[in-house]
Structure 1
């Protein structure tokens, strides 16, 4: 008698994958995909945008940009010699309201006491300026290694409103000038007689000489050439009387 075979459960068929299921081949493909590049994941702003966000580098200040400082202002007609005021403080004030050459006139010359420490200032340049209405005429000198009295010298001239200033023969070129005749801050040719005397600058502090340009109703008076060449003070050809006079340093 043959014994019948026992009931064996049917073998389940291999399931099929639908479109919504992950197939092994898909998993492998995902694992072998090339990683995205940096350029695909990070967007950089244009170079021009980055540049505008960087603060500009500050340049080192140049000597030419250093401000001129007024250390002396000479006032016409107040009866005090400007050279004595500059060197010895005679008849001066340190009131800053008298420093401005365009302000109402003061009854004293303005002088900054800082100039008493001339060597310690370590200045590089000094200049004198004559003012008449809107006209300004000046001479700039090297101040390096100078003293309060010797910076005014032809060999120290760096620049001037008068292009013909350098290269001439002078009888006087100094702030002391011809002290005996009361002629200071004096740049003049050798004396040739009143009508032939020639100058660029002249501060008359008193009447001693007999020339017409030495005679004034009050002193000091600040004379300067308005053109580019010599002026003739006897008849005031090319000459003006300054409203104000200043010494500046930097």
Structure 2
């Protein structure tokens, strides 16, 4: 899973935004339907690097990627025995329902930066 952003004239957080997204492996990520697209995510719920489609109750929450880091999770889908932080992503080419969907779990989240020489 990889997202590509335009980081020109950005800072350490605002480069990770829908408006800077250049490409994604998800056919529905750019359709305008999302409740969160943020590196800082939803801190009160212990979620960062969060690209979510819908909040409709824990059993129907859906999205593309999230990092969970709280041991006091509010939803079953983020209450696993895996060490925190936990990196979750949709294994489909669309968003997935976190509770019952096709969810991948990664051991790390990596960010790569490249520069373009003028």
Taking structure 2 as the reference length, what is the TM-score of the superposition?
0.89
Contact 2:46 2:69 in 1 (8 A): yes
Deviations 1:21-46 (A, max 9, x none): xxxxxxxxxxxxxxxxxxxxxxxxxx
Q: Normalized per residue, which structure has more strand?
A: 2
The residue aligned with 1:192 is 56
- Output the CA distance in 1 between the equivalents of 2:73 and 2:109: 23
In the TM superposition, residue 174 of structure 1 has moved relative to its aligned partner by: 0.5
Q: How does 1:87-236 map to 2 (within 5 A)?
A: 137-217=1-81, 218-235=83-100
In the TM superposition, residue 165 of structure 1 has moved relative to its aligned partner by: 1.0
In the TM superposition, residue 209 of structure 1 has moved relative to its aligned partner by: 3.7
- Output the CA distance in 2 between the equivalents of 1:204 and 1:165: 20
Contact 2:36 2:53 in 1 (8 A): yes
- Output the CA distance in 1 between the equivalents of 2:16 and 2:72: 23
Q: Normalized per residue, which structure has more helix?
A: 1
Aligned residues: 113
In the TM superposition, residue 234 of structure 1 has moved relative to its aligned partner by: 1.1
Taking structure 1 as the reference length, what is the TM-score of the superposition?
0.44
Deviations 1:53-83 (A, max 9, x none): xxxxxxxxxxxxxxxxxxxxxxxxxxxxxxx
Where in structure 2 are there 5+ consecutive unaligned residues?
none
In the TM superposition, residue 184 of structure 1 has moved relative to its aligned partner by: 0.6
RMSD across aligned C-alpha pairs, in angstroms?
1.2
Q: Which runs of 4+ in 1 moved over 6 A?
A: none
- Output the CA distance in 1 between the equivalents of 2:73 and 2:110: 25
- Output the CA distance in 1 between the equivalents of 2:29 and 2:70: 26
Contact 2:35 2:54 in 1 (8 A): yes
Deviations 1:185-225 (A, max 9, x none): 00112310011100100000113343111212220000001
- Output the CA distance in 1 between the equivalents of 2:89 and 2:66: 6
